[in-house]
Amino acid sequence: MSEPRARNFADIRYVFLDRDGVLNRCGDGSFVTRWEQCELLPGVEDAIARLNLSGRKVIVVTNQRGVALGVCTRADVMALHRRLREHLMAHGARLDAIYFCPHDAGECNCRKPLPGLFEQAFGDFPGATAGNSVMVGDSISDIEAGANLGMQTVLIADPLQSPRAHAERAAALATASATSLLDFVRTWLVVQPKV
């Protein structure tokens, strides 16, 4: 971890999260298309609840290429996200918004690392800026997306999982690294209840 580069995390008000690999296990490269396939990673509920208590907004931005490939539909993705929100709420945690890209590469402006999902979020959350936001992801496209916008970035690199493609490049580009979302929240964010 690179502490000097991560010194401004205390000013973060908006936490952007990738879904697969940050909130839930990715599996063997297959798509997570139904809630029954969605295995949340350890500590996710606690991490999001801590962010909520601190007054930070928690926003998911996720590429869901399975829609473009016909593996699932937009309705499937939305149903999974509805169940995810219900599960988190039952554990005292809340997602403020979820944005997803259903397209394949080259078909849109919203597939990370392109900025479209973030532009939607910045439109819906006028207080959000690159300066007060962080992107937390497990892939090079997540880190590049945040870095291209001038956001701080955190690479989730679970030592128990096989490294993702371009992991070294993502680690070099990221502001900081953590082993999980909960590790990031505990290590880098000063999480105090909002007044």
pLDDT at 29: 66
pLDDT at 186: 92
Is the residue at 113 inside a domain? yes
Residue from 20, 138, 142, 158 carrying the catalytic annotation: 20
pLDDT at 167: 79
Q: Which helix (H) or strand (E) holds 118?
A: helix 116-124
Is the residue at 15 inside a domain? yes
Is the residue at 88 inside a domain? yes
Contact 10, 189 (CB under 8 A): yes
Is the residue at 168 inside a domain? yes
Question: What is the mean pLDDT of each successive set of 10 residues along the chain, which is 195 residues long?
Answer: 53 96 82 92 97 96 95 96 98 98 95 97 97 96 97 88 76 93 89 53
18 carries an active-site annotation: yes
Contact 142, 135 (CB under 8 A): yes
46 carries an active-site annotation: no
Residue from 18, 138, 158, 183 carrying the catalytic annotation: 18
Vertex 143 angle, CA 101 and 159, to 5°: 110
pTM of the model: 0.92
Q: What's the Cα-to-Cα distance from 52 to each of 123, 133, 159, 179, 191, rounded to whole Å?
A: 21, 15, 27, 21, 9
pLDDT at 8: 63
In whole angstroms, give the CA distance from residue 56 to residue 61: 16
Contact 135, 128 (CB under 8 A): no
Picking from 89, 92, 100, the residue whose alpha carbon sits closest to that of residue 67 is 100
Is the residue at 63 inside a domain? yes
Domain housing 101: 4-188
Q: Which amino acid is at 72?
A: C
User: What is the domain-level CATH number for residue 13?
Assistant: 3.40.50.1000
Query: H helices of 2-103, where?
Result: 44-53, 74-90
Q: How many domains does the chain have?
A: 1
Is the residue at 193 inside a domain? no
Tokens (6 digits) for 131: 């300066």
